[in-house]
Amino acid sequence: MKYFRLLSYLVLLLGVAVKATANPENPAVSVILDGFYKTEETALSERGRSFGLGHTELSLESAVDDRFIGRLTTVLESHDGETEVEMEEAFLNTTGIAMGLDIRAGRFLSQVGYLNSRHTHSDHFAERPAVYRALLGAHYFDDGLRINTLLPTPFFWRVGVEAFKGNQLAGGEGDDSVGVYTVNTKLGGDFSVSNSWQLGASYIKHKLKIVEDEHEDEEHGEDDHGHSHSAGYSAENLYILDAVWKWAPLGNARNRQLILLGEYIYADDLNEYATDDDSHEGWYASLVYRFHPQWGIGIRQGEVELKQAHGEHFHDQSLKETDVMVSWSHSHFSTIRLQYSRQQDVGFESVNDAVSLQYVMSIGAHGAHEF
C-alpha cells in the first residue's frame, strides 16, 4: 500500500513536471526542497541530529473555474529510513463572492496566530518557535471549513471562523463531529509608506475527549522526533495574540527590510484533572533584518512553560530558546541558512545547543507569500 502511494506520487510528480507554467491545462506546480545538517538533538524538535531532510513539498494550484481555486500540497518526509507521504493541503477556495466573503473547505492550515497559516519554507528560522512546536505541532492543519469576511472599514479588518474535525491536535479523536472551532481576527495598515503593521487575535476551542492513555506516554516528555504533526500538549482553550511590524525604506522591500514579529499563546483546561492553576503558556519574539537583497540576519527569543500530563497530576516543564541566524539567498528561489540555537530547560531530556545549516530551494511556480 505504501509503495503504491509512493509510486503514484512519483507518477504525479513526473506528469506535472513536464510543463511548468500555469494555464488552463497546467496548474502552477511548485516543489520545495529543504535539507539540513544539525550538530545536536534538541528538545521538542522534529529535526534530528546529523544530515536530514525537512519538508519536501510538492504543490499544485490552479483556478478551478471562475468561482473556485484549488490547491493540493503533499509533503514527503523520511524518518528512520521510512518515507512518509502526507497530504498537508487539499482545499478549494472561493474567489470574490459577495460582501467580502471568502470560504475555504477541505484540508488546510488553520489561520490562527501569525506563523501557523504559512508554509515553513517561508520562515526566517530553521524551525518554528518552541511554543508552536509544543502547542500546535509546529503547524496545525486539519479537515474543515473556514469562512472569512473582510469588514467594510477604512482599515484592514478581517474576521474569520473555522471548524475542524480535530484529529490533528493533541488529545484528538473526540466523539464530536466537529472537534475544533477557531475564531480569528486581524487588523492591519500602514503607519507610513515605509512602515506597515498587523495585529491578530485567535481563540481555539478544542472539544477534548479525555484521552485515557495520556499516562502511558511516560517517555512523552520530549517529542522524540517521532514525526507526528500532532501537538504534544493538550488543552481545551488556546488563546493567541500576534503582532508584526515591517519596515523598508520608501516601502521598497527589494533592497532592505526589517521585520519585528511576536506571538503569545496561553492554554488552559488541560484535561479533567486540571485545576484552574494548570496552564501552558509561551511566547516568542523575532527580529530579522535583510540588509542586502541577498543577505539577512535575525535573532529570536522564546519561552514556553508546559504541564505534562501524568495520570492525575502534572509535571512542570519549561524551555527557553534563543536562535541566531544568517541567511544568504542567491536568487529569490534559493536560500542557505546558518543558525545557532541555545536551549535551557526544566524537565526535558535531550536539551542541547545546536548549529544547523539548512537550505530551502524552490522549483517551479513560486506563490506569493502573505504579509
Partner 1 sequence: MNFKKNHIVLLLLSWSISNVAFAKLDILTCEPEWQSLAKSLGGSKVNVISATTAFQDPHHIEARPSLIVKARNADLIFCTGAQLEIGWLPLLLTKSANSRIQTNQLGYFLASDQVELIEKPAILDRSQGDVHASGNPHVHWDPYRLLKVAEAFSERLKIMDAANSEYYQQRYVEFSSRWGVSIDKWESLASALRGKKAIVYHKNWSYLLNWLGLEVIGDLEPKPGIPPTSAHLAGLLTNMSYNNPDVILVANYQNNKGAHWLSEKSGVPVLELPFTVGGSKAANSLFSLYDDTLSKLNKIR
Q: Where do contacts with partner 1 occur on this chain (CB under 8 A)?
A: 20-21, 63, 66, 69, 93, 95-98, 100-102, 148-150, 154-156, 186-190, 193, 196, 198, 246, 250-255, 292-294, 330-333, 363, 366-371
Q: Which is nearer to partner 1, 7 or 193 (CB)?
A: 193
Select from 154, 149, 174 the least CA-distant residue to 164. 174
d(CA 139, CA 111): 10
Q: Which is nearer to partner 1, 10 or 250 (CB)?
A: 250
Q: Which is nearer to partner 1, 42 or 93 (CB)?
A: 93
Q: Decide: 266 and 131 in contact? Cβ < 8 Å.
A: no
Q: Which is nearer to partner 1, 21 or 50 (CB)?
A: 21
d(CA 362, CA 359): 10
Nearest distance from C-beta of residue 159 to partner 1, angstroms: 12
Nearest distance from C-beta of residue 148 to partner 1, angstroms: 8
Residues pairing with 78 in the sheet: 83
Nearest distance from C-beta of residue 360 to partner 1, angstroms: 15
Nearest distance from C-beta of residue 44 to partner 1, angstroms: 31
Select from 221, 220, 230, 236 the least CA-distant residue to 181. 236
Nearest distance from C-beta of residue 294 to partner 1, angstroms: 6
Rounded to the nearest 10°, the torsion over CA 32, 38, 42, 45 is: 10
Nearest distance from C-beta of residue 338 to partner 1, angstroms: 20
d(CA 82, CA 157): 44
Q: Which is nearer to partner 1, 3 or 155 (CB)?
A: 155
Q: Which is nearer to partner 1, 4 or 155 (CB)?
A: 155
CA angle 269, 272, 274 (to 5 degrees): 55
Q: Which residues contact 124 (CB under 8 A, 6 or more apart)?
A: 259, 286, 288, 296, 298, 300, 325, 327
Nearest distance from C-beta of residue 357 to partner 1, angstroms: 22
Q: Which is nearer to partner 1, 198 or 271 (CB)?
A: 198
Select from 39, 57, 201, 44 the least CA-distant residue to 128. 44
Sign of torsion, CA 130 262 71 62?
negative
Q: DSSP code of 328?
A: E
